[in-house]
Structures are given as C-alpha cells and as structure tokens.
Amino acid sequence: MTLVEASDALHARVRAFAEGKASDDFEALALAIARFQAEHSPRFAALVKSRNARLESVDAVPAVPTDAFRVTRVAVHPPERDRVRFMTSGTTRARAAHGVHPLRTTETYETVALIAGARALLAERGPRVVVSLAPVPDQPPSSSLGFMMELFQARWDGRALDGGPFVTRDTARFLVGPSGVDVAGLERAAGVARERDEPLLVLATAFALVGLVDALGERRLAAPPSTTVMVTGGFKGRSREVEKNTLRRDVALAFGIPESHVVAEYGMTELSSQLYEGTLPGADLRGEPDVLFEPPWLRVVPVDPGTLEPVADGAIGIARIVDLANVDSAVAVQTEDLVRRRDDGIELIGRRPGAIARGCSLALEALLQ
C-alpha cells in the first residue's frame, strides 16, 4: 500500500468514527495513525526512538511540541502533495515565527469541524445567516480559522446577503477591514436575518469583539433574539485585553442576547479539530461556562511541563492533545496552554509563561536530531 493509499484509508476511518459509523475505538485508531506516522516521518520516528516508545498505548505516543511546526516540516507527505498550508499567527511579525501545518486533504478537517461546530452552535435546525468578524481570508487559505469560517458560511447559509450570487470571500460576510469592524455591515446582516426570520450566527475573534464593543459604545445592535456569537482566540496585542467573563457580558449586551448565547471555541493551527463550550440552550452540547468539551475523536490530558507525565486529577498542567483528524501530521500534539480537567471537560487557564517547557524542549531536540 502506498503512502497516499494508507493515508486515505486512515482518513476514511477517522471520518466514519466521527460520524458514528465505525466499529473502531479511539485507542486502536490513534495507534494505527501513530504507527503510520512513525513509518513515514523520519523525524517522528526519531522522537519515538528517543523515548523508547513501543506505540502500544495512546499514552505511550510521544507528542510533537507545537514549536516543531515553526522550526521544521511536520508531515508524512512531501510538499508537492500539500492541499493547504495553514499558518499560525506567530509571536512576532517575522515570517520565521510562523508555524505551518500542511494538510494533504481537507476532507477530514471539514467533516469534523462541521460535526463539532453543529453540536455547539446550532440550537435550531434550518437556515441561518452566518457572518464573521474577521478579515477576508487569503486565497489559497493560510488561516485554519478563516477556512473554518468560510466552511460554516457555505454549509449553514450558502445564500447571498444582497440578492446576488453567493460568494464566501465577500466583504458582506467578513466584517473586519483596515479600519476595524464594519459595524454597518453587521447591522445589515442582522437586518437580513430579521427579514428572513432566521437566527444570526456571528463567528468572531476575541479582539474583533472588543473592537465591536468599543465602536458601539452605548449603542445596541438590533439582532434577532436567536443570535449566537462564537468567540475564539486571544488578543495578541491587537486590542485592549478584556477578562473573558467581562467580554461575554459586554457582547451579550451589545447583541441583546443572553450570555449563554456567547459560546467559546478553542482551536489551534496545529490541530484539525476544535473544542467548544456547551452553553447554548437547545444545542446538543450542554455544560457550564468556561468548560470546553472534547469531541469523541479528540482527547486532552494535562501533563507536567518537565516530565510530560499526567498531573493529578483537577491539577493544572500543559495540554497534551490527541487529535485523530491529524492523520498526516502529528496525532499527538504537546501545547504550552495551561488546562485542568473540570466537569467532564477542560478549563483553559491561559498560556504558560516563560521559556519553552523542559519536556517540550527535549521532544523538540529529538525531532531535530
């Protein structure tokens, strides 16, 4: 079986697992992907060897640090087979600071994103108006978030806002430009949703929502009462920082909706899957604010920054994430985000300060040898 044939077979298994159509269990599928990656990625094979890992349990699969995506290629396939290359926002404006996640296919990414997003963001079935508080994405896409926003717009709406043909890369739907948030454009979209008697779904970054709140001042948007706002990401110096519960309150006031309709999403360029809060009444995902839930094809384990061993239940550690949708890159990813288990989900505490954690540094060394 060729690399592409083996990859396609694993992708099909992951999609079937996500759709609830497979007899695979999580562990068996994760190990099949890890062995595939060890066979076709010399760098990952070196990491496995450095840990004397036998790849006989999910816990034994060495996690690839997120910094690896910045300093080397993390993929089993050659560059000419890349379908997209998603780039991180980076910590500086220098291109060298950007991590890159190459995907050979986007089919699995799209499948799992739509399933996870629908569970958390769609309280009602049927059409809705979907817009994004984000810049128009590049073409070809370089932002995984922009790609996901376009996907949700196309699959959950798919109609023009002005009576013309539907176009995803449209300033009527992507409402952040050089001058900031297009408040008038958002008001027009809210008006379309009211005229159609449909929910409005706003996909937004945290810093764009701060910009919206600042631009509105004391004004309020005439949004449908069924409006939902997805909020993701941090601030990265692009706006004033606002505590998450304060932002939730301010956004709810701006749209005239309950705070439960402001739903947090957590994702990163190095993953193919996302986690969500379960606060939206009527949605399939249900839980308390600030608790992010893993979809069935993803697991988060808080680990010690030095040893990379799991911490005690309820203790804070850095997030080790096993994402079955990362078939062609790294099925296990080691972040430096501080998390703890809570109420069958995880609570995101924030970014670990200071230098790269010792455990991540050692893993990175082994990858680069």
Q: What is the pLDDT of residues 141-193, one digit of tens each?
A: 899 999 999 999 999 999 999 878 898 888 899 999 999 999 999 999 999 99
Average pLDDT over residues 274-285: 98
* Residues 21-74 pLDDT 10s: 988 999 999 999 999 999 999 999 999 999 999 999 999 999 999 999 999 999
Residue 169 region by backbone torsions, left for phi larger than 0, else alpha for psi between -120 and 50, else beta: beta
DSSP code of residue 109: H
DSSP 254-290: HHT--GGGEEEEE--TT-S--EE---STTSS----TT
pTM (global) more than 0.85: yes
* Residues 333-349 pLDDT 10s: 999 999 999 989 999 99
Decide if 129 contacts 189 (C-beta within 8 A): yes
What was the pLDDT predicted at 235?
54
What was the pLDDT predicted at 26?
97
- CATH node for 108-276: 3.40.50
Structure confidence at residue 360 as a pLDDT band (50, 70, 90): confident
What was the pLDDT predicted at 162?
81
* Residues 262-272 pLDDT 10s: 999 999 999 99
Backbone φ and ψ for 262, nearest 5 degrees, come out as -100, 110
* Residues 95-139 pLDDT 10s: 446 899 999 999 999 999 999 999 999 998 899 999 999 999 988
Residue 55 region by backbone torsions, left for phi larger than 0, else alpha for psi between -120 and 50, else beta: left
**In the chain, where the domains are located:** 3-76+297-368, 108-276
Structure confidence at residue 361 as a pLDDT band (50, 70, 90): confident
* Residues 205-224 pLDDT 10s: 999 999 999 999 999 999 99
What was the pLDDT predicted at 64?
97
Give helix then strand counts, H and E, for the chain.
Answer: 10, 14
Structure confidence at residue 93 as a pLDDT band (50, 70, 90): very low
What was the pLDDT predicted at 90?
58
| pLDDT over 50 at 94, yes or no | no
